[in-house]
Structure 1
């Protein structure tokens, strides 16, 4: 009985940490979207930020989620690593401002460019596969 209560407490803490992490990722993606359009952001940070945002906000994944294990790796590994890289390239004062603006924004942005990039990559891969098979 006591062990079950401890397990419930541990699970609820883990769930709460996961929710906080997910909110932070969403906020940082929105902050990077703002950073990519701000003239004060260094060029390397802009490029990294816009690439991460385009991919993170694309409605289509590079690796579809229906592929076991690999389908979720991009959501769990690629996007957070890209966010960490882009965040490191942005000066702290600007990042704090962008995060505050992102937290206050009523909705998150969408990425048509990310969708287009994923479609181009998949089309190219399918074309190469067709050439290889023929």
Structure 2
């Protein structure tokens, strides 16, 4: 499960953070919040179109779905909410937790 989450953050990273902050904003339409919830349920659900037991194919369907639907949902967010969500994502990624250690 942790490996899947790490892969998700690497492949979608910033867009996922923007969608997260947008979903937490009260100005985001309910349809977008429900779409993001459905996407999260599908990703963490053991039931997939292609089972994860098939090493590469099982992951490709998850990553493809995320790579297509996260930007699609983000484009539907109202501009005022989106700018606030980008600010939240910028603050998140500027924290030391996400920076590489250069020592």
Matched, 1:94 2:81: yes
TM-score normalised over the length of structure 1:
0.49
Q: CA deviation at 1:42?
A: 0.9
Match of 1:51 in 2: 38
CA, structure 1 residues 49+78, in 2 after alignment: closer, same or farther (shift >3 Å)?
same
SS of equivalent to 1:67: coil
Residues 54 and 36 of structure 1: is their aligned pair in 2 closer, same or farther, counting only changes over 3 Å? farther
Shift, 1:87, TM fit: 1.0
Contact 1:32 1:53 in 2 (8 A): no
Matches of residues 30-109 of structure 1 in structure 2 within 5 Å?
30-56=17-43, 58=44, 62=48, 63-64=51-52, 66-105=53-92, 106=95
Structure 1 alignment gaps of length 5 or more: 1-21, 109-134
Q: Deviations over 1:62-113 (max 9, x none)?
A: 432x5143222134311111102211220123223212202312469xxxxx
* Structure with greater proportional helix content: 1
Bigger radius of gyration, 1 or 2? 1
Give the RMSD, CA atoms, in angstroms. 2.9
| TM-score normalised over the length of structure 2 | 0.60
> Following TM superposition, by how much is the alpha carbon of 1:54 offset from its aligned partner in structure 2, in angstroms?
4.7
